[in-house]
Amino acid sequence: MKKNICFVCHGNICRSPMAEYVFKEMVKKAGLDGYTIVSRATSSEEIGNDMHPGTKRILKAKEIPFARHQATRLMASDVQVYDYFVCMDDANVKNTKRMLNLQDNRVFKLLDITPLKRSIADPWYTGDYETTYTDVNIGCKALLQKLKEEKNTEI
């Protein structure tokens, strides 16, 4: 069964769109299809804005294709569409659960499925898009493995 994945960060201009496009490329290279992969914000501050130039730069440098992005806020109706809400930090997890009225394992931090088990630093504040990319890449590889394992256990 294919999964619908929603990556979540505060503004949907740095980390979550980076994860969206990194994961889309990983899924494509793995020869998988039928996945819906999007990103959303927990705040309304950046709604309608494109990805941060730093995010675009790192995606270009890593040869990850991306399209024009428009920051979009998480909506209550998303709970019926997406199987997983993959967040970048603890505040994203808390806000996503509150906004969607979810308390189950559908909401988790990207790096919680890795040995790192920590938040992904926000390059909006750190300016370090390379480290953010490295963490996103590690997390997306683990997420792809998780989805493959889930697929193998389905009847």
Q: Tell me which residues are annotated as active site.
A: 9, 15, 122
- Token pair belonging to 69: 């992005």
Residue 47's alpha-carbon distances to 43, 50, 51, 131, in angstroms, are 8, 9, 11, 25
What value does the CA radius of gyration of the chain take, rounded to a whole number of Å?
A: 14
Task: Answer yes or no: are the C-beta atoms of 11 and 41 closer than 8 Å.
Answer: yes
Looking at the DSSP bridge assignments, the partners of residue 87 are 8, 109
Task: For residues 62 and 83, give the distance between their C-alpha atoms in angstroms, rounded to a whole number.
Answer: 28
Residue from 145, 144, 116, 121 nearest 133 by CA: 121
